[in-house]
């Protein structure tokens, strides 16, 4: 698979804004819908004494509403989790864009600009670290961000050495930066993606199951 370009990263970053916005709106809607369904279900229960002849129908509709409420519960959990997950990815993609910018500055021999870019990278990584406990994210994600921060720190020191023509410091720091990159490359993001999917798949499956049950009644 080809590496993502800067434009790819920025496009994905824009989509994350949309995910957060829509998920927050869905949270509000789910809460309101559940309140309405709860009220309807309570009314059916309260009305069940009216006639024994309609009791089976009332129980049927109450059960249907029960499945709909369970589906809404799953939906509310998912949308809430998606907000937190997307918030992490917003900062993470910002950091990746920063990383790309730093690389471009270095290629252009703009080491002062690269150093400024590292400062922005460190800020965005700090935000990503704070959000790295989002639901579904395995512990490796948190550790990756920590290691990414180590790289940013060492890269910043190396660029500062280059800018000040400190050859000795540069020679000392260069192997550290190389080791940092090697460590970052060692993370298995395919497995991380699988772990994230394993968290969300049961919730999605349960939501679909409850919707199917409600629709079949």
pLDDT digits (tens, 9 = 90+) for 185-214: 999 999 999 999 999 998 888 888 888 887
The radius of gyration of the chain's CA atoms, rounded to the nearest angstrom, is 25
Contact 155, 170 (CB under 8 A): no
Element (H, E) at 166: none
pLDDT of residue 9 exceeding 80, the answer is: no
Give pLDDT, residue 71: 75
Contact 76, 52 (CB under 8 A): no
CA angle 100, 7, 119 (to 5 degrees): 30
- 3-class state of residue 110 by DSSP: coil
Residue 20 CB partners (closer than 8 Å, separation 6+): 82, 83, 86, 87, 90
Compare 33 and 131 and report the one with higher pLDDT: 131
Q: Return the exposure string of 184-200: e unless at least 16 CB atoms fall within 10 Å of the residue's CB, then b.
A: eeeeeeeebeebbeeeb
Q: What are phi and psi of 136, to 5 degrees?
A: 95, -15
Structure tokens at 140: 């490796």
In this prediction, residues 25-48 reach a mean pLDDT of 57
Average pLDDT of the chain, as a whole number: 83
In this prediction, residues 136-165 reach a mean pLDDT of 96
Q: Categorize the per-residue pLDDT at 135 as very low, low, confident or very high, splitting at 50, 70 and 90.
A: very high
Which letter does DSSP use for residue 53 in this model? Answer: G
| % of the chain with per-residue pLDDT over 70 | 77
Give pLDDT, residue 121: 97
């Amino acid at each position: 698979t080809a590496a993502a370009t800067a434009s790819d990263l920025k496009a994905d970053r824009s989509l994350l804004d949309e995910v957060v916005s829509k998920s927050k709106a869905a949270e509000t809607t789910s809460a309101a819908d559940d309140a309405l369904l709860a009220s309807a279900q309570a009314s059916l229960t309260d009305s069940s004494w009216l006639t024994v002849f309609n009791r089976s129908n009332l129980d049927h509709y109450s059960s249907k509403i029960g499945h709909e409420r369970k589906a809404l519960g799953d939906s509310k959990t998912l949308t809430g989790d998606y907000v937190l997950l997307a918030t992490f990815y917003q900062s993470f993609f910002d950091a990746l864009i920063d990383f790309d910018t730093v690389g471009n500055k270095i290629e252009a021999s703009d080491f002062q600009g690269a150093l400024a870019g590292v400062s922005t990278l460190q800020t965005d990584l700090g935000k990503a670290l704070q959000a790295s406990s989002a639901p579904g994210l395995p512990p490796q994600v948190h550790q990756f961000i920590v290691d990414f921060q180590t790289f940013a720190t060492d890269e910043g020191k190396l660029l500062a050495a280059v800018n000040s023509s400190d050859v000795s410091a540069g020679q000392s720091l260069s192997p550290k930066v190389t080791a940092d990159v090697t460590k970052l490359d060692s993370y298995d993001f395919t497995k991380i993606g699988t772990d994230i999917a394993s968290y969300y798949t049961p919730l999605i499956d349960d939501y679909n199951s409850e919707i199917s049950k409600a629709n079949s009644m």
